């Protein structure tokens, strides 16, 4: 594998840049551009695709503020959270919803992340879907930090989580800080010991100084269990305990009740995710939700004041607003 880099890349990139200019700023047709650049129309088509895919061309949608959907207004008023409702037809499947919400988030995320920033991200099916679509944006001196461990009894889980992290890191040109620990320790004492290791404290400190946090929601007792619950991270006994403790959901493997409280939920003692008091230090906390099976979990997360920005599919948003 060769690394196609700066010297050669420049040429193609600057062509793409020119083509984009001619197409998007001057409204020339691809045919005309092909002529100016002495190549074929198809090449221009491909060049422009690349320009969009690599973030050279950035397409944003700016609501005139006064035209925000009434749903978003209701959610803001009721929960003090900036909602971004993703339009999705009501009859769409859960997979569709997730995919479409993830795509939207992936496209918009660049507006929240910039040079010199640190972003914490969780893992799970939602994050995975987003990671597959992130639109690149060049940043400098920026970091992506893993919020919680991903190992389990069957696999190290590293491949899965690190793949997600890596995609974000690649897209933004950011340093990636993995967190190579299991999702849950067997013994709380082990965690405490680990937390005193220097490599680990460094990472925990970064988690305490995030600019952005990005996470989905777990919903252990819904019809469509999240990745954590299907992936062999938890045993039957754990489920029973969670149920007894009244947990309705989790963020980065920290569980909470309907009222947002976490105290006394035994499993949290063994979890590797950041305590909510730490997470809440992050100024912008972006939660991505799709599918009404997450509704109970979402209400809990809102009670816990974990969320500042919420991306949510239309149907679920309506359910939230109607309740």
Partner DNA sequence: AAGCTGGCTGAACATATGTGCAAGGAGCGG
Partner DNA sequence: CCGCTCCTTGCACATATGTTCAGCCAGCTT
Find where tokens 């988030």 sit: 105
From 45-53, 118-126, 133-141, 287-295, span contacting DNA (CB under 7 A): 45-53
From the list DNA, its own copies, none, pick the one residue 260 interacts with, judged by a Cβ distance below 5 to 8 Å according to partner type: none
Return the residue of 69, 82, 156, 178 that touches its own copies, per CB under 8 A.
69
SS3 of 19-37 = HHHHHHHCCCCHHHHHHHC
Q: Does 30 bind DNA (CB under 7 A)?
A: yes
Q: Does 108 bind its own copies (CB under 8 A)?
A: yes
From 35-43, 82-90, 239-247, 274-282, span contacting DNA (CB under 7 A): 35-43
62 by DSSP, 3-state: which?
coil
Please, which of residues 137-196 interact with its own copies by CB under 8 A?
137-138
- Strand 143-146 and strand 309-313: the pairing is unpaired
201-209, Cβ contacts within 8 angstroms, sequence gap of 24 or more: 203/145, 203/146, 203/177, 203/179, 204/274, 206/118, 206/120, 206/143, 206/145, 206/177, 207/120, 207/145, 207/147, 207/274, 207/278, 207/279, 208/274, 208/278, 208/281, 209/118, 209/281
Contact 141, 232 (CB under 8 A): no
Those residues whose C-beta lies under 8 Å from the C-beta of residue 182, and which sit 6 or more positions away, are: 149, 150, 151, 152, 157, 272
Return the residue of 10, 31, 36, 192 that touches DNA, per CB under 7 A.
31
Q: 16 or 122, CB closer to DNA? A: 16
Give strand pairing partners of 84.
311
From the list DNA, its own copies, none, pick the one residue 42 interacts with, judged by a Cβ distance below 5 to 8 Å according to partner type: DNA
Q: Does 29 bind DNA (CB under 7 A)?
A: yes
The CA distance from 217 to 176, in Å, is: 22
Q: Does 36 bind DNA (CB under 7 A)?
A: no
Binding mask 267-306 for its own copies (x = CB under 8 A): ----------------------------------------
From 23-31, 143-151, 212-220, 270-278, span contacting its own copies (CB under 8 A): 23-31
Q: 137 or 257, CB closer to its own copies? A: 137
The CA distance from 9 to 307, in Å, is: 40
Return the residue of 30, 57, 81, 176 that touches its own copies, per CB under 8 A.
57
From the list its own copies, DNA, none, pick the one residue 93 interacts with, judged by a Cβ distance below 5 to 8 Å according to partner type: none
From the list its own copies, DNA, none, pick the one residue 31 interacts with, judged by a Cβ distance below 5 to 8 Å according to partner type: DNA
Contact 119, 212 (CB under 8 A): yes
From the list its own copies, DNA, none, pick the one residue 61 interacts with, judged by a Cβ distance below 5 to 8 Å according to partner type: its own copies
Return the residue of 35, 46, 280, 305 that touches DNA, per CB under 7 A.
46
CA angle 191, 221, 292 (to 5 degrees): 120
Q: Does 134 bind DNA (CB under 7 A)?
A: no
Phi-psi region of 122 (alpha: psi -120 to 50; beta: other; left: phi over 0): beta
Residues lying near its own copies in the complex (CB under 8 A) are found at 6, 10, 13-14, 17-18, 20-22, 24-27, 36, 55-67, 69, 86-87, 89, 100, 103-104, 107-108, 137-138
């Amino acid at each position: 594998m060769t690394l196609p880099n700066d010297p050669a890349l420049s040429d193609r990139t600057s062509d793409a840049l020119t083509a984009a200019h001619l197409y998007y700023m001057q409204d020339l047709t691809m045919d005309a551009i092909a002529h100016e650049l002495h190549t074929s129309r198809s090449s221009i088509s491909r060049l422009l695709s690349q320009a969009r895919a690599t973030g050279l061309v950035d397409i944003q949608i700016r609501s005139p503020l006064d035209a925000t959907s009434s749903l978003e207004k209701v959610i803001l008023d009721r929960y003090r959270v900036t909602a971004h409702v993703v339009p999705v037809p009501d009859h769409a499947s859960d997979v569709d919803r997730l995919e479409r919400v993830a795509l939207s988030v992936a496209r918009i995320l660049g507006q929240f992340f910039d040079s010199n920033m640190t972003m914490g991200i969780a893992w799970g099916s939602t994050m995975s879907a987003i990671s597959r679509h992130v639109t690149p944006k060049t940043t400098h001196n920026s970091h992506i930090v893993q919020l919680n461990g991903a190992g389990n009894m069957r696999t190290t889980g590293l491949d899965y989580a690190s793949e997600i992290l890596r995609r974000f890191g690649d897209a933004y040109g950011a340093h990636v800080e993995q967190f190579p620990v299991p999702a849950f320790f067997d013994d709380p004492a082990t965690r405490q010991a680990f937390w005193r290791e220097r490599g680990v404290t460094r990472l925990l400190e970064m988690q305490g100084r995030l600019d952005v946090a990005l996470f989905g929601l777990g919903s252990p007792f819904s019809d469509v269990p999240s990745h954590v619950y299907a992936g062999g991270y938890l045993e039957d006994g754990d489920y029973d305990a969670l149920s007894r403790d009244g947990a309705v959901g989790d963020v980065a493997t920290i569980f909470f009740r309907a009222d947002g409280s976490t105290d006394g939920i035994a499993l949290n003692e063994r979890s590797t995710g950041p305590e909510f008091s730490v997470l809440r230090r992050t100024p912008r906390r972006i939660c991505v939700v799709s599918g009404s099976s997450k509704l109970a979990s979402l209400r809990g997360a809102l009670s816990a004041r974990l969320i500042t920005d919420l991306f949510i599919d239309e149907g679920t948003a309506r359910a939230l607003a109607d309740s």
